[in-house]
């Protein structure tokens, strides 16, 4: 056995919108085999990536590469927190929020080449009701959209925007009680997003000022929304201007508690997680090593 650093690729065979590229063949071609040893494993079921990543961390791998979308990234990253093993990403989803935030190349060959020359950094992570997230979590409309999106056959930005425009008319804000930085706030809530990274994915910037290493969550509260405001907010999200929009308010904090009269939908990294009427959202400073471009 060589003494080279070892990396494990975990490929989710069902993720992604693109045609079935032979990722293993590309790895053979573009990974620097003089610098890195590697193995490749495929997930057989939802949740499998978490087990495969935990085994690699226990075996002191240098890095585990999540090959998939933010769902796969989440499953891998949750096992690597507080270990010496770094998360790397070959982005293959439709949104790729964490990869985009970390400026990891979206093109497969370039993303593989980056592994040869990348550097290790550390980032924060969050939990919502003890469920880990690395980009964003949220309650209200964005969780509702993630639930509809999960059942939709098509993917990508166009589907997202069409869904938002269609569903915004039917969705109603709900009253919530929020505790942020020892202050209580009673408010309507259309969306409350808890951002570790700046974007949901697809360059939709829900919290353009979020810093993934500052030990703080950026909370974006949108109290009420109608179709006209929604179009304006969508434009602001895609042009990184949401922090200046009138209908979005921001708070920075390490933890937040939300209570609702009626159960509300929530998501973590865009994966719909169900409904709850109490939410505890926390930030874990610099919990995860990541392999990013030098």
Ligand X SMILES: Nc1ncnc2c1ncn2[C@@H]1O[C@H](COP(=O)(O)OP(=O)(O)OP(=O)(O)O)[C@@H](O)[C@H]1O
Instruction: Name the site residues for ligand X (rule: CB under 6 A).
Output: 12-16, 43-48, 68-72, 75, 93-95, 155, 270-271
CB of 72 to ligand X, least distance (A): 3
Q: How many CB atoms lie within 10 A of CB 277?
A: 12
Q: In a 10 Å sphere around its CB, with 0-12 CB exposed, 13-18 middle and 19+ buried, how is residue 229 labelled? A: middle
34 CB-near residues (< 8 Å, 6+ apart): 4
Q: Which is nearer to ligand X, 70 or 225 (CB)?
A: 70
Q: Which is nearer to ligand X, 12 or 253 (CB)?
A: 12
CB of 212 to ligand X, least distance (A): 18
H-run or E-run covering 100: helix 97-101
Q: Which is nearer to ligand X, 68 or 208 (CB)?
A: 68
Q: Which is nearer to ligand X, 13 or 175 (CB)?
A: 13
CB of 35 to ligand X, least distance (A): 27
Token pair for 5:
């650093």
Q: Which residues pair with 180 in a beta bridge?
A: 183, 256
Q: Which is nearer to ligand X, 57 or 73 (CB)?
A: 73
CB of 93 to ligand X, least distance (A): 2
CB of 201 to ligand X, least distance (A): 6
């Amino acid at each position: 056995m060589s003494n080279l650093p070892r990396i494990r690729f975990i490929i989710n065979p069902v993720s992604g919108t693109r045609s079935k590229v032979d990722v293993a063949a590309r790895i053979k071609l573009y990974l620097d085999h003089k610098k890195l040893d590697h193995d490749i494993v495929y997930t057989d079921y939802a949740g499998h990536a978490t087990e495969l990543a935990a085994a690699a961390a226990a075996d002191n791998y240098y890095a585990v590469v999540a090959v998939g979308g933010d769902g796969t990234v989440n499953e891998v990253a949750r096992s690597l927190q507080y270990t010496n093993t770094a998360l790397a990403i070959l982005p293959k989803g439709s949104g790729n929020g964490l990869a985009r935030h970390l400026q990891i190349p979206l093109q497969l060959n370039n993303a593989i080449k980056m592994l040869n020359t990348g550097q290790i950094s550390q980032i924060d992570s969050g939990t919502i009701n003890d469920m880990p997230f690395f980009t964003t979590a949220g309650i209200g409309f964005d969780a509702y959209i993630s639930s509809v999106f999960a059942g939709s056959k098509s993917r990508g930005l166009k589907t997202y925007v069409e869904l938002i425009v269609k569903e915004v008319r039917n969705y109603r804000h709900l009253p919530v009680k929020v505790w942020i930085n020892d202050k209580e706030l009673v408010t309507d809530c259309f969306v409350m997003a808890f951002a570790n990274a700046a974007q949901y994915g697809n360059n939709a910037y829900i919290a353009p000022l979020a810093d993934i290493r500052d030990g703080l969550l950026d909370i974006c509260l949108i109290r009420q929304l109608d179709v006209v405001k929604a179009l304006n907010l969508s434009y602001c999200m895609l042009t990184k201007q949401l922090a200046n929009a009138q209908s979005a308010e921001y708070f920075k904090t390490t933890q937040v508690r939300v209570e609702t009269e009626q159960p509300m939908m929530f998501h973590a990294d865009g994966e719909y997680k169900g409904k709850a009427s109490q939410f505890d959202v926390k930030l874990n400073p610099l919990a995860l090593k990541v392999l990013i471009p030098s």
